[in-house]
Structure 1
Amino acid sequence: MSFRLSLSNSYVRSCPSDLGAAKHRGVNARGKRTSRLRFGSWNVGTLTGKFLELCNALTRCKVDIACFQETRCTGKSSREENGYKLWYSGAPKSINGVGIIMTERLKDFVVQVERHGDRLMLVRLVIQEETINVISAYAPESGQGAGEKKNFWDSLDELVRSFPVDQ
């Protein structure tokens, strides 16, 4: 099963899932009923003071999981509100920052959260027999040094390579 996550701002994609509570959409190759998960990615510029506004936008677009970049959140924590749970990771100063948010119905399927600095994080969900790895990545911009860019791409490559082949 292929899961796709858009890397363009505010773009939504969907993928198959076996969530029993969701509306029936068809039958997969294993004969199980399937539904859709809707994914999004958004460079928010800042998440400060925008959480409820972003939750409302995600609800309107029926997005189940979204990755945020340039959150400018400080520290590493999570937050629940308005039917969504957000995990975020940021620098001690309000720069960069990434986050992953999902609907309340999905939060109990989360089995792992890995924060890799203020530019990279992973949330792993297990839904029935399927594992979904969601990565929020905020690549260094053109004005950043070559060393910082190399470290970012090496870290992302290492994270992706750490997934078991059968996932």
Structure 2
Amino acid sequence: MSGKEHSYATTVEWTGNTGSGTSGYRTYQRAHTIVAEGKPVIPGSSDPSFRGDPARYNPEDLLVGSVSACHMLWYLHLCSAGGIVVTGYVDHAEGTMVEDAEGGGRFAGVTLRPEVTLAPGSDEAAVLKAHHEAHEKCFIANSVNFPIVVEPVFRTE
């Protein structure tokens, strides 16, 4: 079964050469930019644990943010299509990465904690079902090899 194909292009440029390139582990910055045509520049670095700049986004931040944003966008779409009126949504997502003995590593999991504000009269079962379906449809969730847990909280206006 084939479907519609979508392509995405970004340019990542290292901006952390302090004059001597990568001549030593401590001689260069991990600073870089991430650009997609016509969009704002994302300032990037590595995690501060790996000599990165804590004021810039690291790949791990962006991965957790991508999982969270994808789930939210699917959830809002499904609610809209299903007659559920969402008036507010904030997710306090968290991911855990584990390093291995060789210095590599992987994500062990991501937990999404969406706080959803609903219009009065929302069907509680439908609201929960939409989270389950959003997780099943999320392109990012379907592309990663670690578990994603969704722990939603609902409030009525």
Higher helix share: 2
Alignment TM-score, normalising by the size of structure 2? 0.27
Alignment TM-score, normalising by the size of structure 1? 0.25
Q: Between the two structures, name the one with larger relative contact order (CA 8 Å, sep ≥ 6).
A: 2
Higher strand share: 1
